[in-house]
Amino acid sequence: MQLKDKVALVTGAGQGIGRACAVALAEAGAHVIVADINGQTVEETAAAVMSFQRRSLALQADVGDVQEIDGIVGRAIAEFGRIDISVNNAGVTRRADIMDLTEHDWDRIHRVNAKGVFFCLQRVAREMIAAGGGRIINIASIAGKGYIGTSNAAYAASKGAVIALTKTAAQQLGKHDITVNSICPGVTRTALSQDNLRTRAQQQGVTMEEMERIRAEVIPLRRANDPEDIAAMAVFLASPGARNITGQSYNVDGGIIPD
Based on the fold, state whether residues 85 and 198 are members of the same structural domain.
no
For residue 112, the model assigns a pLDDT of: 98
101 touches 150 (CB < 8 A): no
Is 103 inside a domain boundary? yes
For residue 194, the model assigns a pLDDT of: 81
42 touches 13 (CB < 8 A): yes
Based on the fold, state whether residues 155 and 79 are members of the same structural domain.
yes
Domain of 206, in residue numbers: 189-224
Cβ density class 108-129: b for 16+ within 10 Å, e for less: bbbbbbbbbbbbbbebbbebbe
Residue 210 CB-half CA count within 13 A: 9
Quote the number of domains for the chain. 2
What are the CA-CA distances from residue 12 to residues 38, 116, 145, 230, 245 (Å)? 9, 11, 22, 14, 24
Mean pLDDT by 10 residues, the chain (259 residues): 95 97 98 97 98 98 98 98 98 94 98 98 98 98 95 97 98 98 95 80 90 89 95 98 98 94
Give the number of other CB atoms < 10 A from CB of residue 131. 17
Is 142 inside a domain boundary? yes
Is 126 inside a domain boundary? yes
CATH code assigned at 241:
3.40.50.720
Which residues carry out catalysis?
Answer: 155
The pTM of the full predicted model, rounded to 2 decimals, is 0.94
For residue 191, the model assigns a pLDDT of: 81
For residue 200, the model assigns a pLDDT of: 81
Based on the fold, state whether residues 91 and 208 are members of the same structural domain.
no
For residue 190, the model assigns a pLDDT of: 87
- The whole-angstrom distance between residue 140's C-alpha and the CA centroid of its chain comes to 7
